[in-house]
Amino acid sequence: MNLNERMNVLFSGYKANPKRLVEDLIHFIFLILGLITVGCVLIITVYLIISGLPAIIEIGPLEFLFGTKWASTASEPSYGILAFILTSIYGTSGAIIIGVPIGFFVAVYLAKMANKRFKDAMKLCVGVLAGIPSVIYGLVGMTVLVPAIRLIFNVPDGASLFAAIIVLAVMILPSVINVSLSALEAVPHEYEEASLSLGATSTETYFRVTVPAAKSGIFTAIVLGIGRAIGEAMAIMMVAGNVANMPGLFKSVRFLTTAVASEMSYSSGLQRQALFSIALVLFFFIMLINAALNFIKTRSQKI
Amino acid sequence: MKKILVTMLVALCAVSLFAAGAKEASNQSVSTDGSTSMESVVLSLAEVFEENTGIVVTYNPTGSGSGITAAQEGRADIGLSSRSLKDEEVASGLKGTTVALDGIAIIVNNENPVSDLSVEQIAALYTGELTSWAEVGGADAPVVLIGREAGSGTRDGFESITGTEDVCKYNQELTSTGAVITAVLSNPNAIGYASLSAVDDTIKTVLVDGVAPSEETVLSGEYQIQRPFVFVTKADAELSEAAQQFFDFALSTDASDIIADAGAVPLV
């Protein structure tokens, strides 16, 4: 069979039914678009592993992950990122401890108690909060929050882990509120009606019936909040002080993200490779969070 | 009607994008890459040079280290470094030509009564030997040290001049000169350092050993905290005609006023 005949066989179906050609073409284009997304993830993963592993091997995994001293440009450089890891964990936990209760109660209030006009206005505000670029959070934090912390807590310098926690807590509010809100709103009314008809007060009903029913949605909100907090760089770079100290509430600290961002522009050699390794560690954390998110989702589907 | 308008706007944007690209490609150009501290100097020189010759000079603000690497790898015609080349960099076949000097100003908050520090005092403050402003004639308040991130040309310059490499106990390591100035402005106990060209009247600069940072004192060597702005080229390879022209222009007397206007101190 020569090429012409093959083409004839291939296209004979389309000749009979030209619409199918269009259909198949569209499917093909959509497939390509989907593959682009998958390709991006694969390229980033592979690139990070390839560029991040050499430094970890050269420095030694234990020394890299559990070393407490980071002095990348010193004459005798040392590359220990335990301080960054702990700072990222503490900072994220702090933001969750402050941000999640606020976001959760706001969501309960908006979903169940607020009147419609107030709810709409407040949802608009939450939307605006979500849309504010992180550099603006940083700018306001730097010029308002940092001096305020210095005055209120009477510390020499306000640029600290505490300032970063406050900024992160505000930044995760919108995602916590929005996701919890839609979870709470998705709870069937019959549940609540049953509870109310048994004599429970409305507040009892919301916290004993609605919230447990929306549990998995609220967990999702928390995990999304963690994801946003641990990946944020710009805003906290402006308020956290960026010194590679072991974390302390009013100490100047450096997060995993800011460690990469602040030194990347001037870095070279092993320092640069080590920054990629930090990025790899951060990527690993994000993967863990995504896995947790998937776990929650699949478990909630089973119930 | 609205649709047509939108389509036309989009088309216009697309065409202007290509037009801009095409224009750049058709001309000769000189690429520079490196020190962020040299931004105002290089951009001012580039502007006048382009007016005179029509040759476009591009500037990529990556940092001294990257600039030197770029010159070495041939990614840029001229690398920009705000420190002298190290011995091993010269040995690897690079040549550094100083085009200007830059003073590093020591800045404190406007409320701070301290107005004169010696280099030793500055070093002692930054290494944490002195922790209170009272020890250098100021109020009894803790010293808050603001600096730049590791790898920054300004930090490297400051630390090498004051002999405090790797031992500074910073409270904040910020990634730009503007951020340092903002941080010092907002904290009454802060001390920081910034390129002389970036400092203006809004922030208080201290005298170093009784000498105020200025063009004259930097050029005469009286003001001690200063560093060179260096053009980095390959020692064995010749520059392209356009790059050589820009190089000569930057070292000529015509350029000195431009360099001075940009806040650095010209050599000629």
Q: Are both B94 and B130 inside the same structural domain?
A: no
CA gap A115, A122 in Å, rounded: 11
Share of chain B above pLDDT 90, in %: 30
Q: Are both B37 and B153 inside the same structural domain?
A: no
Contacts of A246 (CB under 8 A, 6+ apart): A68, A82, A83, A86
Residue (of A62, A248, A33, A66) closest to A160 by Cα position? A248
For residue B136, tell me if it sits in a domain. yes
Please tell me whether the overall predicted TM-score, pTM, comes out greater than 0.80 for this model: no
Q: Which of B64, B65, B175 sits opposite A262 (nearest CB)?
A: B175
A257 chain-B contacts, CB cut-off 8 A: none
Taking an 8 Å cut-off on Cβ atoms, the answer to whether B172 and A142 are in contact is no
Q: Are both B176 and B71 inside the same structural domain?
A: no
Q: What is the mean pLDDT of residues B148-157?
A: 80
How many domains would you assign to chain B?
Answer: 2
Q: Are both B67 and B158 inside the same structural domain?
A: no
B143 chain-A contacts, CB cut-off 8 A: 156
- Three-class DSSP category at A13: helix
CB-CB contact of B78 with B229 (8 Å): no
Domain of residue A130, residue span: 70-302
Taking an 8 Å cut-off on Cβ atoms, the answer to whether A262 and B183 are in contact is no
Q: Are both B140 and B217 inside the same structural domain?
A: yes
> Which tokens is A77 given?
């450089």
Q: Are both A158 and A15 inside the same structural domain?
A: no
What's the CA angle centered on A162, arms A70 and A171, to 5 degrees? 105
Q: Are both A74 and A52 inside the same structural domain?
A: no
For residue B167, tell me if it sits in a domain. yes
Contacts of B129 (CB under 8 A, 6+ apart): none
Q: Which of A73, A147, A150 sits opposite B150 (nearest CB)?
A: A73
Contacts of B190 (CB under 8 A, 6+ apart): A157, B108, B109, B144, B145, B146, B171, B183, B184
Q: Are both A7 and A85 inside the same structural domain?
A: no
Q: What is the mean pLDDT of residues A145-157?
A: 91
B149 chain-A contacts, CB cut-off 8 A: 242, 262-263, 266
Q: Are both B116 and B56 inside the same structural domain?
A: no
Taking an 8 Å cut-off on Cβ atoms, the answer to whether A241 and B66 are in contact is no
In this prediction, residue A120 carries a pLDDT of: 92
* Alpha-carbon distance values, A252 to A128, A161, B95, B110 (Å): 30, 6, 39, 23
Q: Which residues are registered as beta bridge partners of B92?
A: none
Q: Which residue has the tokens 């919301």?
A: A206
Residue of A nearest to B62 (CA): A265
Q: Which of A71, A254, A268 sits opposite B69 (nearest CB)?
A: A268
Q: Are both A143 and A84 inside the same structural domain?
A: yes
Domain of residue B202, residue span: 102-226
Span A19-53, pLDDT tens digits = 888 888 999 999 999 999 999 999 999 999 999 99
Interface test with A, best of B149, B170, B182 (most A CBs within 10 A): B149
Q: Are both A114 and A54 inside the same structural domain?
A: no
**Alpha-carbon torsion (B121, A69, A97, A276), positive or negative:** positive
Interface test with B, best of A262, A266, A275 (most B CBs within 10 A): A266
Q: Are both A115 and A76 inside the same structural domain?
A: yes
For residue B21, tell me if it sits in a domain. no
**Neighbour-count burial for A6-17, b at 16+ CB within 10 Å, e otherwise:** eeeeeeeeeeee
Span B106-118, pLDDT tens digits = 999 999 999 899 9
Residue (of A158, A102, A104, A269) closest to B68 by Cα position? A269
Taking an 8 Å cut-off on Cβ atoms, the answer to whether B151 and A263 are in contact is yes
Q: Read off the DSSP letter of residue A273.
A: H
| Nearest CA-CA distance, residue A74 and chain B, Å | 5
Sequence-distant contacts of A295-298: CB under 8 A, at least 24 apart: A296/A216, A296/A219, A296/A220, A296/A223, A297/A216, A297/A220
| Nearest CA-CA distance, residue B257 and chain A, Å | 30
> Which tokens is B173 given?
């390591």
Residue (of A175, A189, A173) closest to A217 by Cα position? A175
Q: Are both A243 and A157 inside the same structural domain?
A: yes
How many domains would you assign to chain A?
Answer: 2
Q: Are both A150 and A198 inside the same structural domain?
A: yes
Taking an 8 Å cut-off on Cβ atoms, the answer to whether B173 and A243 are in contact is yes
Q: Are both A125 and A211 inside the same structural domain?
A: yes
Q: Which of B150, B179, B187 sits opposite A157 (nearest CB)?
A: B187
CB-CB contact of B54 with B27 (8 Å): yes
Q: Which of A243, A261, A267 sits opposite B170 (nearest CB)?
A: A243
Question: Which range has the worst mean pLDDT, A146-155, A231-240, A292-301, B85-94?
Answer: A292-301
Span B61-80, pLDDT tens digits = 777 888 898 898 888 999 99
Span A116-126, pLDDT tens digits = 999 999 999 99
In this prediction, residue B260 carries a pLDDT of: 84
For residue A131, tell me if it sits in a domain. yes
Taking an 8 Å cut-off on Cβ atoms, the answer to whether B182 and A142 are in contact is yes
CA gap B184, B178 in Å, rounded: 10
Q: Are both A27 and A131 inside the same structural domain?
A: no
For residue A65, tell me if it sits in a domain. no
State whether residue B171 sits within 8 Å of chain A by CB. Answer: yes
In this prediction, residue A1 carries a pLDDT of: 57
Q: Are both B138 and B191 inside the same structural domain?
A: yes
For residue B79, tell me if it sits in a domain. yes
CB-CB contact of B149 with B180 (8 Å): no
Q: Which residues are registered as beta bridge partners of B155?
A: none
**SS3 readout for B31-85:** EEEECHHHHHHHHHHHHHHHHHHCCEEEEEECCHHHHHHHHHHCCCCEEEECCCC
Question: Which range has the worst mean pLDDT, A5-9, A53-57, A288-292?
Answer: A5-9
Span A163-192, pLDDT tens digits = 999 999 999 999 999 999 999 999 998 999
**Neighbour-count burial for A35-51, b at 16+ CB within 10 Å, e otherwise:** eeeeeeeeeeeeebeeb
Asked if residue B181 has pLDDT above 80, the reply is yes
Q: Are both B146 and B108 inside the same structural domain?
A: yes
Residue (of B186, B65, B61, B195) closest to A238 by Cα position? B186
Span A9-22, pLDDT tens digits = 667 777 777 788 88
For residue A64, tell me if it sits in a domain. no
CA gap A166, A36 in Å, rounded: 37
Q: Are both B165 and B261 inside the same structural domain?
A: no
Residue of A nearest to B159 (CA): A74
For residue B10, tell me if it sits in a domain. no
In this prediction, residue A165 carries a pLDDT of: 96
**Alpha-carbon torsion (B125, B131, B136, B137), positive or negative:** positive
Q: Are both A93 and A190 inside the same structural domain?
A: yes
What's the CATH code of the domain at B91? 3.40.190.10
Taking an 8 Å cut-off on Cβ atoms, the answer to whether B152 and A266 are in contact is yes
Residue (of B200, B191, B110) closest to B158 by Cα position? B191
What's the CATH code of the domain at A282? 1.10.3720.10
Q: Are both B151 and B250 inside the same structural domain?
A: no
Q: Are both B180 and B199 inside the same structural domain?
A: yes
Q: Are both A96 and A52 inside the same structural domain?
A: no
Domain boundary (A18, A34, A59) is at A59
Taking an 8 Å cut-off on Cβ atoms, the answer to whether B65 and A266 are in contact is yes
Q: Which of B65, B172, B189 sits opposite A252 (nearest CB)?
A: B172
In this prediction, residue B25 carries a pLDDT of: 43
Q: Which of B66, B166, B170 sits opposite A266 (nearest CB)?
A: B66
